[in-house]
Amino acid sequence: MKGSTIIFTIGGGILICAIVYGVYRTLRKGKKTNSKSVCATKVCTDESDFADSVVHSPQPERDLADAKRQTGASVYARHQEAGQIVNEAMNRIVNDNKDSDVVVTENSDTLNHMSGDLDDLLK
């Protein structure tokens, strides 16, 4: 009986080690896959790569000024488009109301004031 107890104990230990190794390998493989996918999309960079690109940039001030100018132009264009859309919508509302019998109220003054403000913004 002592011999069979020792064999079962050793066999159980080997079985537990095999299960733990399988779980460890599976989890480790999952982490490697995630890190490869992140690095494949150029998110992972070494600090030295970043430092070299910043230090060896020919004219970082010019690059920054160009980025600011492009961003400003893009924002200005989008705001102009949005202003035109709002202006067209306001004109459509006002023109639709002119065709029907409209009573002048305090909202008409507010609408005219807003339309004037929008025109000032587009200048």
Interior/surface letters 48-62, b for 16+ CB within 10 angstroms, e for the rest:
eeeeeeeeeeeeeee
The predicted structure's pLDDT at residue 121: 83
Return the residue matching tokens 């807003």. 114
What does the alpha-carbon distance between residue 31 and residue 77 come to, in Å, rounded to a whole number?
A: 44
Tens-binned pLDDT, residue by residue, of the chain (123 aa): 577 788 888 989 999 999 999 898 888 876 655 444 445 445 555 555 555 555 555 677 788 888 999 999 999 999 999 999 999 988 888 877 665 665 677 788 888 888 888 888 877
The predicted structure's pLDDT at residue 81: 93
What does the alpha-carbon distance between residue 14 and residue 20 come to, in Å, rounded to a whole number?
A: 10
Structure tokens at 81: 């488009």
The predicted structure's pLDDT at residue 56: 57
Q: Is the dihedral of CA 70, 71, 77, 80 positive or negative?
A: negative
Q: Structural domain boundaries of the chain?
A: 1-44, 60-123
The predicted structure's pLDDT at residue 19: 93
What does the alpha-carbon distance between residue 80 and residue 87 come to, in Å, rounded to a whole number?
A: 10
The predicted structure's pLDDT at residue 36: 46
